Amino acid sequence: MTHLHPERFGENARAALGDEVLRGALRKATGLFGRQRGAAVAEMPEWEALRERARAVKAEALASLDVQLERFEERATANGIQVRWARDATEACEQVKAIAERLGRPTIVKSKSMATEEIRLNEHLEQAGHRPVETDLGEWIIQLAGETPSHIIAPAIHKTKRQVGELFAEKLGIPRSEDERELTRAARRALRHSFATAELGITGANFAIAETGSILLIENEGNIRLATSMPRVLVALVGIEKVIPRLCDLQVFLRLLPRSGTGQRLTSYQSLISGPRAGSGDEGPEEMIVILLDNGRSSVLADNSLRESLACIRCGACLNACPVYRQIGGHAYGSVYAGPIGSVITPGLQGLEKTAELPFASSLCGACREVCPVKIDLPALLTRLRADVVEGRAPGQGQRPRRPRRIEKAAFAFWRWLASDPVRWTLSMRVARLAQRAGLDRLLPPARAWRKGRALRPFAPRSFRERWKEDDRRGR
């Protein structure tokens, strides 16, 4: 995959800023989702209470995660589900590969899942000679094109109708079309064939319910329903943070999630799946396997402040609201998780070694916190990670610490010294003004580096304090 390099955030972001098609599409998508969200939230007077409740349920689930996981395992097993555990991406991929191998060379249908993208399951399966087929329309388009998603809800948003038409003409051998209905019908036909012959279905899950041992999947297209109904074997890859205590908790999340993501009251489909078929008179898979994935989550859990980020329900609202994401899109973050939450969980899961730029990809305006349905304090978490970067700490455990940025520490110490004394402060502002006028701020090496991605506003000709004093003298 070409884009998964968080350490190249700056480079990626610059490339994105030069891509007019991408920026136009992002403007449209984030604007539309944002407006629709606003309308959907406005008709819910109880919105704040729902958010509080959702946050409380997630906090409860995370604070008792071991108990919830054990309960889920016990109930799911009683329902006939095989529950497996995977410490990391490699283990999870190997487990799925072993299942595929056991089935011979099965047709594999996949539905969109962040967890499978996080562990790069497709690459892993392809290396072993399997050909998993993505079945979400957007995911399928980018799979055909050999690309990665640019938006959590609309993965192929960076592609125009014309590009999709050309892609389908080339890969499916159908006449070129620029009609979205025509193109969607072509996709339906092609993917129906995959579904009809599929022996293995691979999905993620939006929630795992401890009380009943079930998983819940949310979608609009119907491909998840197909992938969980038609193949003989179903594998669901579920991050350990997805578990919630009770079935009734779902009503809170079902009210919040679609409204936050796309502004829909509810998506077209929710599938609550509690086990394989119960005898020959039943429909659905004969065999169902749930893989519980850690892959860094327990380290995030160990970090008292970052723990909050595990409450994320992946609605995408913070991406749509983020002024940085709106400009650069998902590719720039170099991770499957983009936007404000991506800048928190990518360092959380991978450590700061390669992701140190991400916490700085934010203006800390707070728009993400405002829209988050589980009230994650994203700006606080970003600030905390920035401090980690500057001071060379590692979030969670098991990550190698970065070298402290001595110059940054020294700069803050100097600033503290200046700002803590009125005379020093006033003087320094005058010096800064003169220095800026002389263009010194562009010459000094640390300032030059800092200014590469930023524009500094010119200092005001007179400071507020100076104007106040003058006005005072004039007797105003």
Partner 1 sequence: MSAREDILGRVRAALKGTVAIGAPGSPEVAAPTDLDSHAARVDAFRTRLAAAEGHLEVVADEAQAAAVLSEVVSQARAKRIAVSDAPLVAKLTRGLEGVELVDAADRAGLLAAEAGISCVQHAVAETGTLVLETHSERNRLVSLLPPLHVALLHADAILATLGDALAAVDPGGAGSASRAVTFISGPSRTADIELKLVVGVHGPRELTVLLIDPRTRENAP
Binding region for ligand SF4 (CB under 6 A): 260, 312-318, 341, 371-374, 376
Share in percent of the chain as helix, strand, coil (round to 5): 55, 10, 35
Identify the residue among 117, 118, 134, 221 touching partner 1 (CB under 8 A): 221
Token pair 């991929």: residue? 93
- Among ligand SF4, partner 1, none, residue 269 binds (CB under 5-8 Å by kind): partner 1
Minimal distance, residue 368 CB to partner 1, in Å: 22
Is 421 an interacting residue with respect to partner 1 (CB under 8 A)? no
Is 269 an interacting residue with respect to partner 1 (CB under 8 A)? yes
209 beta partners? 214, 244
Q: Are the C-beta atoms of 459 and 440 separated by less than 8 Å?
A: no
Which H helix or E strand runs over 450?
helix 445-451
First to last CA, the chain: 65
- Distance (Å, whole) CA 202 – CA 113: 9
- Among partner 1, ligand SF4, none, residue 49 binds (CB under 5-8 Å by kind): partner 1
Nearer to ligand SF4, 13 or 257 (CB): 257
Per-residue contact flags (x/-) with partner 1 for residues 76 to 105, judged by CB under 8 A: --xx----xxxx---x--------------
Minimal distance, residue 183 CB to partner 1, in Å: 6
- Among partner 1, ligand SF4, none, residue 91 binds (CB under 5-8 Å by kind): partner 1
Type of residue found at 269: Y
- Among ligand SF4, partner 1, none, residue 372 binds (CB under 5-8 Å by kind): ligand SF4
Minimal distance, residue 75 CB to partner 1, in Å: 6
Nearer to partner 1, 12 or 135 (CB): 135
- Among ligand SF4, partner 1, none, residue 126 binds (CB under 5-8 Å by kind): none
Minimal distance, residue 190 CB to partner 1, in Å: 11
Residues 294-353 that bind partner 1 (CB under 8 A): 294, 298-299, 301-302
How many Cβ atoms from other residues are within 10 Å of residue 242's Cβ?
Answer: 24
Minimal distance, residue 122 CB to partner 1, in Å: 18
CA distances to 77, 287, 300 from 242, rounded to whole Å, are 17, 22, 14
Nearer to partner 1, 45 or 422 (CB): 45
Nearer to ligand SF4, 78 or 266 (CB): 266
Tell how strand 233-239 and strand 82-86 pair up: unpaired
Nearer to ligand SF4, 234 or 313 (CB): 313
SS3 string, 167-194, reads HHHHHHCCCCCCCHHHHHHHHHHHHHHH
Q: Are the C-beta atoms of 284 and 291 separated by less than 8 Å?
A: no
DSSP state for residue 463 in the 8-state scheme:
-
Identify the residue among 40, 233, 252, 371 touching partner 1 (CB under 8 A): 252
Minimal distance, residue 178 CB to partner 1, in Å: 10
- Among partner 1, ligand SF4, none, residue 314 binds (CB under 5-8 Å by kind): ligand SF4
Identify the residue among 27, 102, 265, 469 touching partner 1 (CB under 8 A): 265
CA quadruple 412, 416, 422, 423: dihedral positive or negative? negative
Residues 106-125 that bind partner 1 (CB under 8 A): none
Q: Which two tokens stand for residue 376?
A: 């994650």
Minimal distance, residue 263 CB to partner 1, in Å: 11
| SS3 assignment, position 161 | helix
Nearer to partner 1, 298 or 436 (CB): 298
- Distance (Å, whole) CA 166 – CA 435: 55
Minimal distance, residue 60 CB to partner 1, in Å: 4
- Distance (Å, whole) CA 34 – CA 371: 9
- Among partner 1, ligand SF4, none, residue 312 binds (CB under 5-8 Å by kind): ligand SF4
Identify the residue among 206, 223, 320, 355 touching partner 1 (CB under 8 A): 223
Q: Please count the CA atoms within 13 angstroms of the CA of 297 that sit on its side-chain side.
A: 24
- Distance (Å, whole) CA 271 – CA 288: 14
- Distance (Å, whole) CA 107 – CA 325: 36
- Among partner 1, ligand SF4, none, residue 223 binds (CB under 5-8 Å by kind): partner 1
User: Which one, of 164, 220, 227, 160, lies nearest residue 192 by Cα?
Assistant: 227
Q: Are the C-beta atoms of 147 and 157 separated by less than 8 Å?
A: no
Residues 14-33 that bind partner 1 (CB under 8 A): 25, 28-29, 32
Residues 159-218 that bind partner 1 (CB under 8 A): 159-161, 164, 180-181, 183-184, 187-188, 191-192, 196, 211-214
How many Cβ atoms from other residues are within 10 Å of residue 272's Cβ?
Answer: 13
